[in-house]
Every structure is written in structure tokens, then in C-alpha cells.
């Protein structure tokens, strides 16, 4: 983040706006709406500000700017049409540690005025850091439809009961769980329907009943997808935000992990070749232990939990220990990465079947059904096969596929760092070595790979190191 998002209480505090035009009038209106005492410094005023001055709503100083005008100010806004004046206001304010905003000139700002959705006491602010105020307004317009006015009434109800809830629930975690149930359940719906008295009664009852019930833990087994956070499901996002503990794998990208609750505990249990942070049996027992402590546990996995994710083993243990759980599927690497690489896994002219296998080496060999994998008119997708790529390609050729069979390997698919190397079974091992690919990768074998050059639609940033697609055919 380039700016720290904060909410500043200026009620009754002196605020200084330099400039008297329509732009200044909009900033003055926002300061007044927030309770500030506004002084406007300008040689002349627009009609709106003149009306405010005549009514005594603002204090008007009919002068050009001088440093003394900021002597008492807790916040300063420069909104003149003279960049030199705006720059001077910024310099003086910063020298006196006064927060300053220069309209449409981020270079001189110490803070940015956001687009605001006002559902007081709920306030949502949207900013692009000054890069595009128009985009911020468009985002605000979209969010306006998602945040009904009744959310303000819901927040006011919560404020009235905050002290009582704190008395009944001594631990902050218990209070958080209680409020989440209130905000996502029937009490919130009563507020939305205008039934505020019924909501108050229901909330009183809920406090008493919940205080007598010990918290129950639960495990959310969630697929984090192939890496791009845009590919998460709505349900995954909701559970990621309400979990108390995050137990996550090596394949979960930082961008996906960033969407979990910031104050949740995070436990890394990832596995890399010959380097396991925690054995699978230990992970299973950890999930049981955390849930029995009354915690809501997010077991976050890359891809889909039930496709080479060992999710089945984990919920077997949970079930045996009577631990409640729910499963949220994720987009598995095969479908997500292939789509972003421009390789359809099935195509009526090239492949009528698709097979997923893992490519781990054991003692230098792969224990796979090679005859089945070498059948014609199908696509073979190999997870975790980078190290064994030479063995894989040679075995497929030995068991019947031609050396010229199209094949591809994709590194960090669906992310800005995606790299795609295409070739044949004969050439792919050499091309992957030349490209210095690193895990995570996905290997795709079959005639559908020949479509990649025509169908590749995802173009990572060519200007960033490592963010490019590499394609070679021989």
C-alpha cells in the first residue's frame, strides 16, 4: 500500500481550504459533513462558497495564501488553479506536520481524499492513491449497490449492545464469533426489513443464550485455486474472512493468503520435495486439536482439496473425531492453468478424454500406468512432474506415443509470473532446462497443445522480470 487508510475525526477542529472555486466547494462540503470548522482562503469565492460564507457556515478570508493561514489548522486542502500556490501550501503544511491534500496532484499530497460511501456510522472509502479519481468514483458507484443504507442502522444497534456483549463474553474471539452470527443471521434481516424493535429483543435473547453455550470449533477445507485470487469462489472468500486460524500449504500464493483475516493465526504446513514442514498425519491431528479448542480453522490448499490435495485423508480424521467440517472446492491446476495457457483440455477434433496423474519420482522412476497414458486422442495432465520430466517423456514414447506428440509445461500458471514452454515429447525436457523452470509447474501432453499458439489469451506483463510466456516448437 502506498497510503495508509485511516479515518480522521475532525469534529469541531479547524480546517483550512485554499481556493474559492467549484473544486474547493466540493472539498469544503465534505469537511463540513464530517463536522469540521472550515476556513476558506481565496481572493474570491464561487457562488456556493459565497452562500456558505454569507450564512456563517464557513469563515472566509479574502486574501492570497500565506503560511500564517495554517497556524491553527489540523488539516489543509489546496484547491487553487495555480500549481505554484498549491505547491507552496503543501510545503508549508508538511513543514508543520499538518496533513495536506492538493487536489489532482498526488505529488504534493500527504493524504488522498477518497470517494466515500456514507452509511453512518458505517463509512466505506475508496481510493486509487490519486492515480485515477474517476475509477475510484466508478468503484464507489458499484459498492453503493452492495451496501444498503440499513447497514448504518445495523451498526447503530451493535453499538448500543456492545457493552453488554463485552460483559457476557470475556474473550475477544467469542465476541467476534457472536457478532458474525448476528450480522449474518435473522437479527440482521430484521433490521433490513425495518423491524428494529424485534431485532433488539432477538439480540437480547441471543446474548443470554450464547453466553451459556461453549464455542464449537469447525474446519473449513477450502481450495485456494491455482494462484490467481480472482479465481476464488464467493464461499471461499467468506470462510477465509471468518476463520480464527489459517493452516496453509506451500502452493497457496501470497495474493490468496492476503485475503484471509488479518488478525487470524497462520500456520504453514507446506510440503516441498524432501522438505516437509509437517507430516500429513501431524497436519490431520493439528486440525482436530485446533477445532476442539473451539476455533474455526481454515485448511487452505492450492488448487482443489480433493485432487492430489490429500483432503480426503484430512476429513477422514476429522470425521473419526466428530469434528464438524465443510468442504469448498477450488479450481484445480489442470483446468485453471490450462485455460490461462490457452490449451483446452478436451476438443472434439483432438481429445475426447483427459487424465490427471502425479509425476513424483521414486528411486528415479515413476509408478504410472503407461499403457493407459499413451492412448491416442486424450490429454494427459501431470502434476508435480518437473523433476521427472525426462523420465515421463521417454516412457510415453516407449509405450506408444510418437516423439513429435505436442507437449507443454507451465510455470506459475494463472499468475502474472506465468511462463509457458511448448514443444514435443522429444524436445520438452531440453526446453524446460533451457528455460530454467522452477516449481510449481504443470505438464500437458496431447494434440490439444498444438492449439496454444492460436488460443493463448493471457499475456503476463512483459516488462516485469520473470513475467513472460516462452514458446518454442522444436
Among the three residues 298, 331, 364, which one is the final residue of a domain in this structure?
Answer: 331
Q: What DSSP letter does each residue of 363-395 carry, written as one string?
A: TTB----HHHHT-SS-EEEEES-STTHHHHHHH
Please check whether residue 131 lies inside any domain of the structure: no
Q: Which domain holds residue 236?
A: 218-331
Ligand-binding annotation for 226, yes or no, is yes
Nearest C-alpha neighbor of 263 from the set 377, 332, 176, 143:
176
Please check whether residue 125 lies inside any domain of the structure: no
Predicted local confidence at residue 272, as pLDDT: 63
Strands 75-78 and 441-445: unpaired
Residues 130 and 3: their CA atoms lie apart, in Å, by 10
Please check whether residue 127 lies inside any domain of the structure: no
- Is 271 designated active site? yes
Please check whether residue 263 lies inside any domain of the structure: yes
SS3 343: coil
Predicted local confidence at residue 242, as pLDDT: 86
Please check whether residue 121 lies inside any domain of the structure: no
Residues 152-197: tens digit of each pLDDT: 999 999 999 999 999 988 888 888 889 988 998 889 889 988 899 9
In 151-270, where do the E strands start and end?
A: 218-223, 245-248, 265-268
Could you say which of 271, 369, 434, 438 is catalytic? 271
Please check whether residue 5 lies inside any domain of the structure: no
Give the CATH number for residue 432: 3.30.950.10
Domain count, the chain: 4
Predicted local confidence at residue 211, as pLDDT: 63
Among the three residues 185, 211, 237, which one is the final residue of a domain in this structure?
Answer: 211
Could you say which of 249, 263, 367, 434 is catalytic? 249
For 357, the grid coordinates are 496423474
Q: Which residues, other chains included, contact 10 with Cβ-Cβ below 8 Å and sequence gap of 6+?
A: 31, 34, 35, 36, 74, 75
Please check whether residue 200 lies inside any domain of the structure: yes
Give the CATH number for residue 207: 1.10.8
Q: How many alpha carbons lie under 13 Å from residue 431 in its C-beta half-sphere?
A: 23
Residues 145-158: tens digit of each pLDDT: 888 888 899 999 99
Among the three residues 211, 237, 264, which one is the final residue of a domain in this structure?
Answer: 211
Predicted local confidence at residue 274, as pLDDT: 55
Give yes or no: residues 251 and 285 share one domain.
yes
Give yes or no: residues 232 and 310 share one domain.
yes
Give yes or no: residues 319 and 361 share one domain.
no
Please check whether residue 61 lies inside any domain of the structure: yes
For 6, the grid coordinates are 485511516
Give yes or no: residues 66 and 168 share one domain.
no
Q: Which residues of the chain have pLDDT under 70?
A: 211-215, 271-276, 363-364, 461-474
Give the CATH number for residue 83: 3.40.50.720
- Element (DSSP H or E) covering residue 409: strand 406-411
Give yes or no: residues 370 and 289 share one domain.
no
Residues 166 and 240: their CA atoms lie apart, in Å, by 25
Ligand-binding annotation for 333, yes or no, is yes
Ligand-binding annotation for 43, yes or no, is yes
Give yes or no: residues 416 and 361 share one domain.
yes
Give the CATH number for residue 303: 3.40.1010.10
Question: Would you put residue 322 in left (φ > 0), alpha (ψ -120 to 50) or beta?
Answer: left
For 281, the grid coordinates are 498425519
Give yes or no: residues 34 and 59 share one domain.
yes
Ligand-binding annotation for 332, yes or no, is yes
Give yes or no: residues 273 and 313 share one domain.
yes
Amino acid at each position: 500500500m502506498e497510503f495508509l487508510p485511516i479515518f480522521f475525526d475532525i469534529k469541531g477542529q479547524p480546517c483550512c481550504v485554499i481556493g474559492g472555486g467549484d473544486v474547493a466547494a466540493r472539498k469544503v462540503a465534505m469537511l463540513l459533513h464530517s463536522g469540521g470548522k472550515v476556513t476558506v482562503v481565496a481572493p474570491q469565492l464561487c457562488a456556493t462558497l459565497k452562500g456558505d460564507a454569507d450564512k456563517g457556515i464557513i469563515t472566509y478570508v479574502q486574501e492570497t495564501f500565506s503560511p500564517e493561514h495554517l497556524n491553527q489548522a489540523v488539516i489543509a486542502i489546496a484547491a487553487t488553479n495555480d500549481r505554484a500556490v498549491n505547491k507552496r501550501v503543501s510545503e508549508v503544511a508538511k513543514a508543520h506536520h499538518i496533513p495536506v491534500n492538493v487536489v489532482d496532484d498526488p505529488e504534493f499530497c500527504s493524504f488522498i481524499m477518497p470517494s466515500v460511501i456514507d452509511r453512518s456510522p458505517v463509512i466505506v472509502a475508496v481510493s486509487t492513491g490519486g492515480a485515477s479519481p474517476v475509477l475510484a468514483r466508478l468503484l464507489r458507484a458499484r459498492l453503493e449497490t452492495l451496501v444498503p443504507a440499513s447497514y448504518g442502522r445495523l451498526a447503530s444497534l451493535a453499538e448500543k449492545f456492545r457493552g453488554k456483549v463485552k460483559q457476557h463474553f470475556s474473550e475477544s474471539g467469542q465476541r467476534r464469533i457472536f457478532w458474525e452470527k448476528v450480522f449474518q443471521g435473522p437479527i440482521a434481516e430484521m433490521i433490513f426489513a425495518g423491524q428494529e424493535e424485534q431485532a433488539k429483543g432477538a439480540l437480547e435473547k441471543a446474548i443470554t443464550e450464547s453466553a451459556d453455550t461453549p464455542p464449537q470449533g469447525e474446519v473449513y477445507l477450502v481450495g485456494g485455486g491455482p494462484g490467481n485470487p480472482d479465481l476464488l469462489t464467493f464461499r471461499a472468500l467468506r470462510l477465509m474472512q471468518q476463520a480464527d486460524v489459517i493452516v496453509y500449504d506451500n502452493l497457496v500464493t501470497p495474493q490468496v493468503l492476503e485475503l484471509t483475516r488479518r488478525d487470524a493465526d497462520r500456520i504453514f504446513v507446506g510440503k516441498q520435495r524432501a522438505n516437509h514442514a509437517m507430516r500429513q498425519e501431524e497436519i490431520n491431528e493439528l486440525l482436530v486439536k485446533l477445532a476442539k479448542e473451539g476455533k474455526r480453522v481454515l485448511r487452505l490448499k492450492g488448487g482443489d482439496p480433493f485432487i492430489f490435495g490429500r483432503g480426503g485423508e484430512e476429513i477422514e480424521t476429522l470425521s473419526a473425531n466428530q469434528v464438524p467440517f465443510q468442504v469448498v472446492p477450488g479450481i484445480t491446476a489442470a483446468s485453471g492453468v490450462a485455460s490461462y495457457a490457452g490449451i483446452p483440455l478436451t476438443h472434439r477434433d483432438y481429445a475426447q478424454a483427459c487424465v490427471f496423474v502425479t509425476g513424483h519420482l521414486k528411486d528415479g522412476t515413476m509408478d504410472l500406468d503407461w499403457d493407459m497414458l499413451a492412448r491416442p486422442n486424450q490429454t494427459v495432465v501431470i502434476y508435480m512432474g518437473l523433476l521427472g520430466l525426462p523420465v515421463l517423456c521417454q516412457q510415453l514414447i516407449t509405450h506408444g506415443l510418437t516423439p513429435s506428440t505436442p507437449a507443454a509445461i507451465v510455470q506459475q500458471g494463472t499468475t502474472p509470473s506465468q511462463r509457458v514452454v511448448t514443444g514435443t515429447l522429444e524436445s520438452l525436457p531440453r526446453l524446460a532446462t533451457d528455460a530454467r523452470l522452477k516449481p510449481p509447474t504443470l505438464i500437458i501432453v496431447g494434440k490439444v497443445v498444438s492449439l496454444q499458439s492460436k488460443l493463448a489469451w493471457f499475456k503476463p506483463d512483459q516488462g516485469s522480470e520473470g513475467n513472460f510466456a516462452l514458446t518454442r516448437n522444436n
